[in-house]
């Protein structure tokens, strides 16, 4: 359960643009006070539409949005008291940094003197003091990002909505901003909804992740739950790297590839086809003792990890080792290996349950 009870609640939220499948399809989600929830999914999964419905920028076809039990659904955006950071930051190009940040305070009729001190405080929070008089276009991408964040926070919103705020930054800055956003969010204790297509971002930032697929909630859970116990093959594939192995259950319900019996905890219906999913770092390679035998087809060194591709009768998979672990050295293409994994690390998805 969300800490502190439901602060923001989405109840049966739908958005149907009238062409194709609904963008958001009966979404139920409860977010606790001070919680940081990531809406994660590929483009077109409805995550941004959901965020825009919370902001009031898109009108839901059906369903309700509740904040502390108050129905927000019919409230216009400008009466919702939300802070939103847009993907392209949406800073007002005709205003200085200080005026950008002060905009929300001005709209609330806050006196000039108080506004000035709150703007200074907000800019200090994002470590941008001294740039008040600059125009947005004279700032770097990272600085613009911080202004956008300060502008959203200075109004002391009930909700902070972040729409892929890091996607326009380079990799290094992204990681830095990630930590900073998390830190500020914790310090202010502000309920936050964060939209991203980057699973690493969601795992690193969120208290809970809502994985969305085709307008629906595929899984809701903590980063550990999502990563280690994905509820569907889609979630397993989307969050982290995974090996998907096509297996068949015998009359005893035990899964086999070719003739080899697989080590899994969960049984499958007798005779069913199933997908067995194992993370690359859980794959064990040895000269004997595994459940499958094959040979190495390639070794790819990518810095902190090394990927070892293995193929055998009816399967192909990739194992991953940290390069600090010496066990991969000496492995070369063509070499025969025995492949296994701890039974707990494998997830079984019978094809009937998958439905696709």
Partner 1 sequence: MADDRRRRPALAAGLSLPAAAAIGLGFLLPVLWLARMSFNPSDPDGALREGWTLHHYAELLTDSFYGELALGSLQMSAVSTLGALLVGYPIALFLFRLESRWKTLLVLLAICPLLVSGVVRAYGWIVILGDAGWINSMLRGAGLIDRPIRLVNNHIGVAIGLTESLLPYMTLSLLAGLGRLDRGLEEAARTLGASPLRTFLRVTLPLSLPAVVLGCTICFMLAISAFVTPRLLGGGRVFLLATEIYEQALLTLNWPLAAALAVAILAMFTLVLVASGRLQRRVAE
Q: Which of 122, 155, 242, 260 binds partner 1 (CB under 8 A)?
A: 155
- The contact mask relative to partner 1 for 54-73 (x = CB under 8 A, - = no) is -xxx----------------
Q: Which of 63, 104, 290, 340 binds partner 1 (CB under 8 A)?
A: 104
- Report the C-alpha gap between 297 and 342 in whole angstroms: 23
Phi, psi of 81 (to 5 degrees): 55, 60
Identify which of residues 84 and 212 has a Cβ nearer to partner 1 in the complex: 84
What Cα–Cα distance (Å) separates residue 321 from each residue in 40, 155, 298, 348?
27, 47, 14, 23
Smallest gap from Cβ 76 to partner 1, in A, equals: 8
DSSP state for residue 262 in the 8-state scheme: P
255-257 vs 82-85, strand pairing mode: unpaired
If one asks whether residue 93 binds partner 1 (CB under 8 A), the answer comes out as yes
If one asks whether residue 84 binds partner 1 (CB under 8 A), the answer comes out as yes
Q: Which of 7, 15, 118, 151 binds partner 1 (CB under 8 A)?
A: 151
- Report the C-alpha gap between 151 and 269 in whole angstroms: 55
If one asks whether residue 88 binds partner 1 (CB under 8 A), the answer comes out as yes
Smallest gap from Cβ 153 to partner 1, in A, equals: 11
- Collapse the DSSP code of 51 into the 3-class scheme (helix H, G, I; strand E, B; otherwise coil) and give the result: helix
Q: Which of 30, 32, 344, 40 is nearest to 204 (CA)?
A: 40
Contact 77, 159 (CB under 8 A): no
24-32 vs 6-15, strand pairing mode: antiparallel
Identify which of residues 94 and 187 has a Cβ nearer to partner 1 in the complex: 94
- Give 284's contacts (C-beta < 8 A, 6+ positions apart): 290, 319, 339, 340, 341, 342
Smallest gap from Cβ 103 to partner 1, in A, equals: 5
Q: Which of 15, 97, 103, 238 binds partner 1 (CB under 8 A)?
A: 103
If one asks whether residue 82 binds partner 1 (CB under 8 A), the answer comes out as yes
Stretch of 1-9, 104-112, 287-295, 321-329 lying at the interface with partner 1 (CB under 8 A):
104-112
Residues at the site binding partner 1, with contacts judged by CB under 8 A: 55-57, 76-84, 86, 88, 90-94, 103-104, 107-108, 135, 151-152, 155, 161
């Amino acid at each position: 359960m969300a800490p502190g009870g439901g602060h923001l609640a989405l109840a049966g939220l739908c958005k149907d643009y009238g062409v194709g499948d609904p963008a958001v399809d009966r979404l139920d989600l409860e977010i606790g006070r001070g919680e940081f929830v990531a809406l994660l999914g590929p483009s077109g999964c409805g995550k941004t539409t959901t965020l825009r419905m919370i902001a009031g920028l898109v009108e839901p076809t059906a369903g309700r949005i509740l904040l502390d039990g108050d129905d927000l659904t019919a409230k216009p955006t400008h009466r919702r008291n939300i802070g939103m950071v847009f993907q392209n930051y949406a800073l007002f190009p005709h205003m200085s940094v200080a005026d950008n940040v002060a905009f929300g305070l001005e709209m609330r009729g806050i006196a000039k003197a108080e506004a000035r001190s709150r703007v200074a405080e907000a800019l200090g929070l994002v470590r941008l003091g001294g740039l008040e008089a600059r125009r947005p276009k004279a700032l770097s991408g990272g600085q613009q990002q911080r202004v956008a964040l300060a502008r959203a926070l200075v109004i002391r919103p009930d909700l902070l909505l972040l729409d892929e705020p890091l996607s326009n930054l380079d990799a290094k800055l992204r990681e830095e901003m990630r930590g900073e956003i998390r830190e500020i969010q914790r310090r202010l204790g502000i309920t936050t909804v964060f939209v991203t297509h980057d699973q690493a971002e969601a795992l690193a930032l969120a208290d809970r992740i809502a994985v969305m697929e085709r307008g629906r909630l595929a899984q809701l859970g903590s980063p550990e739950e999502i990563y280690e116990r994905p509820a569907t093959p889609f979630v397993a594939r989307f969050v982290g790297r995974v090996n998907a192995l096509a297996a068949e259950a015998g009359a005893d319900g035990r899964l086999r590839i070719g003739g080899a019996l697989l080590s899994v905890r969960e049984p499958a219906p007798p005779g069913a086809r199933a997908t067995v999913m194992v993370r690359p770092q859980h794959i064990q390679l040895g000269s004997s003792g595994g459940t499958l035998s094959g040979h190495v087809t390639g070794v790819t060194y990518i810095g902190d990890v090394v990927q070892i591709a293995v193929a055998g009768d009816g399967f192909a998979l990739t194992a991953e080792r940290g390069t600090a672990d010496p066990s991969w050295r000496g492995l070369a293409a063509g070499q025969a290996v025995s492949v296994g994994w701890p039974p707990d690390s494998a997830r079984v998805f019978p094809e009937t349950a998958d439905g696709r």
